[in-house]
Structure 1
């Protein structure tokens, strides 16, 4: 039985993740940088034998507009605020392949050892927004499964709710549509119901990047017990926030906090779950990649000293289900044995 685990999940979105915030004012170079960075991130993961889950917006699987339309569900979200809908965005702005489609990057993810392709819903679906319905959500999940299975032969098993809008009433639908594990929010109050963005929650989430303001976010595998007819909820521990170009102290303190939490998990035989958006690295690619390599070096030290394992969400769920495997078996994933 492993002593501790380290999980990474990434919310892979490109423009689908922020279209409702930026409209057609997005910077194409920002997403061009993201496209270049993803192969670099994958290379770092493979070199360091890191397993990760890429929770990917299903629309990114499409090659072109015709394919996007073919796989889009008939029952689309009917948000009261129409600008939240990806489909309404496309009606007004069209489909720019450079920022909205990425099947070649999905193939790179699948070709890299240890990487799990997960779902971030098909249309960046907001389950806590007024106007949408459970049946619309079900059709969205079905669209993601269909395009993934038909194009890449992969049944998606891990799900991350966009904007961390985890609607507990929708969890049975997730399991019914094939998702056996879901990333949940940290247990602290300022991570709950994130659609209500009052200033106190934002302040506490920001402050928590530098020093403890709530309960610790490590967790034990024995505590991960799914309710009947629901997927396993795997708590997030920390978001790796973007580099600050103007505040080096900000960068140093927040990275040190993550490393200290990783160390605490390793020593306590606990689990630690780090997540971020690949496009967050695009604001300062060189510095972001340097930080990632620093985190990987720290993980290597924890692996050597404490036997910490790198697991994607699917692996972690299997481990929580008492399907244990050894460190040597994990390494065989990367050696191809």
Structure 2
């Protein structure tokens, strides 16, 4: 295989950060996000960039009534209720502008080269105490049901919220139709536990600017296929938000990504970039300019090295097909 650029986006709006910000969010942050997503889609389509949109299932709903209709009856029983999307909604209410986005999901489906994936139905945390495998299964079923009945889509790719990967649940993912899962980078500071480790968070942030771990791209041959689990596609790098306070570090952070892409293309390896669309909410114009530089670099690497763009589903299919060929 030539070098491969895989992009996965964690599309969640407030469902992804309610337990961190509560009601202390700025409405314009999410209105900016809603405006910038069609711009991303247009850019991806024009440059033939294949992207997986791992979307929280609750965003598929048109309104609160439909949200309740598709929610599972067996809800996550976290010991700490603050992590439950259902508990938060009961305490603070539903706001359509930050909790629902069916019109954006339709745009994703209608845009060439885009894959609609899952980020669970309720931004489900599989490493939190109190929840159970069956509750997780019900959550995945709710995602598949609302995607299938409302949009006619069978979801194939899954991204675990907060990258909390419970390896005991991988079999459930496959049984519920998810054939590909995004994994974490292999460096020790990306191996997640139930509660976030502050030292790991520091290393993750610093590694976006300076190399603290091993090479982030990886050869296709490292990916394996197991008949009882999804294909795991490790992430390489998160595109962290643009910040006005330190333009120098913005440049260093972006240069690190571009250099890693270049190395992946030269070595014919996979480079898996990810971010949250709402990361563009504070500085949408500057963030889009950074994304254009990333896409421009990909265009050059495609021309010089034959680099490909593949969604998670497409890359997972290649892995499975290659395994069967070997057999």
Instruction: Give the superposition deviation at 1:117.
Output: 0.2
User: 1:232 maps to what in 2?
Assistant: 231
Tell me the equivalent position of 1:37. Answer: 36
Deviation digits for residues 238-262 of structure 1 (CA, Å, limit 9, x no counterpart): 0000001110111000100000000
Q: Return structure 1 stretches of 4+ with deviation > 6 angstroms.
A: none
- Give the whole-Å Cα distance in 1 for the aligned partners of 2:194 and 2:290: 30
Show the counterpart of 1:183.
Answer: 182
Aligned to 1:107, what secondary structure does the other structure show? helix
Instruction: Check if 1:103 corresponds to 2:106.
Output: no
Q: In 2, Cα distance between the equivalents of 1:269 and 1:134?
A: 38
* Residue 313 of structure 1: how far off its partner (Å): 0.3
Greater mean alpha carbon deviation, residues 210-219 or residues 166-175: 210-219
Asked if 2 retains the 8 angstrom alpha-carbon contact of 1:163 and 1:194, the reply is no
Superposed counterparts of 1:85-96, under 5 Å? 85-96=84-95
In structure 2, the residue matched to 1:310 is: 309
Return the alpha-carbon distance in structure 2 between the equivalents of residues 30 and 232 of structure 1: 34
The whole-number CA distance in structure 1 between the counterparts of 2:150 and 2:321 is 32
Deviation digits for residues 59-97 of structure 1 (CA, Å, limit 9, x no counterpart): 000001110010000000000100100000110111110
Q: CA RMSD in A?
A: 1.1
Deviation of the 1:198 alpha carbon = 2.3
Deviation at 1:227, TM superposition (A): 3.2
* 2:225–2:320 Cα contact (<8 Å) kept: no
Distance between the aligned counterparts of 1:195 and 1:217, measured in 2? 24
Structure 1 residue 226 displacement after superposition: 2.9
| 1:205 is aligned to 2:204 | yes
How many angstroms apart in 1 are the aligned matches of 2:183 and 2:132? 20
Task: Give the Cα separation in 2 of the matches to 1:22 and 1:321.
Answer: 40
SS in structure 1 of the partner of residue 281 of structure 2: helix
Q: Distance in 2 between matches of 1:186 and 1:246?
A: 28
Q: Partner of 1:128: helix, strand, or coil?
A: coil
Normalised by the length of structure 2, the TM-score is 0.97
Q: Which residue of 1 aligns with 2:213?
A: 214
CA distance in 1: counterparts of 2:281 and 2:291, whole angstroms = 13
With structure 1 as the length reference, what TM-score do the two structures score? 0.94
Stretches of structure 1 that go unaligned for 5 or more consecutive residues are 325-337
How many angstroms apart in 1 are the aligned matches of 2:144 and 2:186?
29
- Alpha-carbon distance between aligned partners in 2 of 1:12 and 1:74, rounded to the nearest angstrom: 24
